[in-house]
Amino acid sequence: METGFSVVLPPWMQGFLRSGKGPFSSPEEKMRWVIDLSRLNVEYKTGGPFAAAVFEQNSGRLVAAGVNLVLVSGLSIAHAEITAISLAQKILSEHRLSSRSGGQYELYSSCQPCAMCLGAIPWSGISVLVCAAREEDARRAGFDEGDKPSDWCAGLEKRGIRVHLDLLRQEAAAVIQQYAAEGGILY
């Protein structure tokens, strides 16, 4: 019987991360980098058109990045946000980001989170969520976002997690639409 499970970044992404990773000076620069990752994930055929990254807020330093790896990992939890958050926790050795280091961490996502990833955010220790595409952009391409509370942004804000939406929305939505137009697998 299996006694554990793992999610591992694909080789192309390990190379991409080594090649250059900030520090990033503006929100747009961070998000453009994340959207590039979402596009590369499709081009390398390692998963759906979604990417996310955790940045240290003050320095603009990249901590960890993730892409949708459901198909290559064989795990339905391996969404971009879950992958980025979990890697950041491993790298910083804290299961709740900022609880030990005192740093503040931002999660940039190429698309608004699905119900699972939304639920994971408060447990992660993330202080800021920044999203590009809207959930309706994902839905329009055929992706299921799950059942979220209708006022989910307010729910995060109430917990002290700031939310910024629609940063470079069109660029991110275009990657999702392109994936769907080419008949990419929906799951």
Q: Residues 104, 133: contact at Cβ < 8 Å?
A: no
Calculate Rg over the CA atoms of the chain: 15
- Cα separation, 53 vs 110, whole angstroms: 9
Using CB under 8 A, pick the residue from 57, 95, 101, 170 that binds its own copies. 95
Beta carbon of residue 74, minimum distance to its own copies (angstroms, whole number): 5
Q: Residues 126, 85: contact at Cβ < 8 Å?
A: yes
171 in catalytic set: no
> Which one, 148 or 169, has the nearer CB to its own copies?
148
Q: Which residue in the list 56, 81, 135, 171 is annotated as catalytic?
A: 81
Using CB under 8 A, pick the residue from 32, 60, 115, 174 that binds its own copies. 115
Using CB under 8 A, pick the residue from 27, 36, 61, 77 that binds its own copies. 77
Task: Look up residue 26 and give its DSSP letter.
Answer: S
> Which one, 97 or 168, has the nearer CB to its own copies?
97
57 binds its own copies (CB under 8 A): no
175 binds its own copies (CB under 8 A): no
State residue 56 phi and psi, 5-degree precision: -80, 125
- Residues 116-135, interacting with its own copies (CB under 8 A): 116-120, 122-125
163 CB burial (10 A radius; 0-12, 13-18, 19+) = middle
Q: Which residues contact 28 (CB under 8 A, 6 or more apart)?
A: 167, 168
In the complex, which residues of this chain contact its own copies (CB under 8 A)? Answer: 1-9, 14, 17-18, 64, 70-71, 73-77, 82-83, 85-87, 89-91, 93-96, 114-120, 122-125, 144, 146-149, 152, 155, 187
- Residues catalogued as catalytic: 81
